[in-house]
């Protein structure tokens, strides 16, 4: 799955640490999701979308290569 | 060590681990005494179980507090350590049937240490995947 988390976070001048704090996860988890190394489960995906005021589909898109 | 940076669950785990190691070595010391009474020997052998059970509750509490990626990393670490330990144990068991193995070198009493060792290797491998 591809995502726009880094772009959305940087637009809001938010650090990975700050985003991790809002989501209740570690900075390593935010980093892994941003780098497409880990796809979050649905509750976390909804939480991420809510933080940025977007829908899940606006933040995450299917990766056609997989 | 600055213990104020360790979470309450971490402090509980650390205390339980220290207590377990202390009781384990105390048990080993008592069991090495020649002529110690049988009830004392049995008690010494069983005492480390209590702090280990306490340690286990701290480990479970720590696992529950982890985020989903860290839980997945722990699962992958165990997914490596557990089957590899099983294969080693099975191979040693078969080898033991084939040839007499030196009990002091390859005894099952020493093999238990493989699981935590392989768990830490698995943990390092799993963490590197998500870095």
Domains assigned to chain A: 2-54 (1.10.260.40)
Cβ contacts of B129 within 8 Å, gap of 6 or more:
A37, B76
| Most B-contacting residue of A32, A40, A43, A48 (CB-CB within 10 A), to test interface | A32
Does residue B71 share a domain with residue B127?
A: yes
CB contact under 8 A, A40 and B129: no
pLDDT higher than 60, residue B45: yes
Distance in Å, alpha carbon of B131 to nearest chain A alpha carbon: 6
Residues of A within 8 A of B75 (CB-CB) are none
pLDDT tens digits, residue range A1-55?
Answer: 899 999 999 999 999 999 999 999 999 999 999 999 999 999 999 999 999 999 9
pLDDT higher than 60, residue B1: no
pLDDT band at B61 (very low <50, low <70, confident <90, very high): very high
Cβ contacts of B130 within 8 Å, gap of 6 or more:
A28, A32, A37, A38, B69, B73
Does residue B107 share a domain with residue B80?
A: yes
Domain end (from B11, B39, B65) = B65
H or E element that contains B66: none
Does residue B121 share a domain with residue B106?
A: yes
What is the reported pLDDT for A47? 97
- Domain hosting B90: range is 67-131
What is the reported pLDDT for B68? 96
Domain end (from B49, B65, B81) = B65
Q: Indicate the angle between helix axes A16-23 and A27-34, nearest 10 degrees.
A: 110
């Amino acid at each position: 799955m591809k995502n726009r988390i880094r772009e959305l976070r940087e637009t809001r001048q938010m650090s990975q640490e700050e985003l991790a704090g809002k989501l209740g996860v570690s900075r390593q988890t935010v980093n892994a999701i941003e780098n497409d190394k880990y796809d979050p489960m649905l509750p976390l995906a909804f939480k991420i979308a809510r933080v940025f005021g977007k829908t899940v589909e606006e933040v995450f898109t299917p990766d056609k290569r997989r | 060590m600055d213990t104020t940076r360790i979470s309450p669950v971490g402090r509980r785990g650390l205390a339980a681990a220290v207590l377990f190691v202390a009781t384990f070595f105390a048990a080993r010391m008592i069991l090495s005494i020649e002529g110690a009474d049988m009830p004392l020997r049995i008690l010494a052998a069983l005492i480390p179980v209590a702090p280990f059970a306490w340690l286990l509750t701290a480990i479970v509490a720590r696992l529950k507090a982890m985020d989903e990626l860290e839980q997945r990393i722990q699962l992958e670490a165990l997914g490596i350590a557990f089957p590899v330990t099983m294969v080693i144990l099975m191979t040693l068991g078969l080898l033991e049937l084939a040839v007499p193995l030196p009990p002091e070198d390859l005894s099952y009493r020493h093999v238990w240490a493989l699981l935590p060792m392989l768990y830490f290797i698995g943990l390092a491998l799993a963490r590197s995947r998500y870095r």
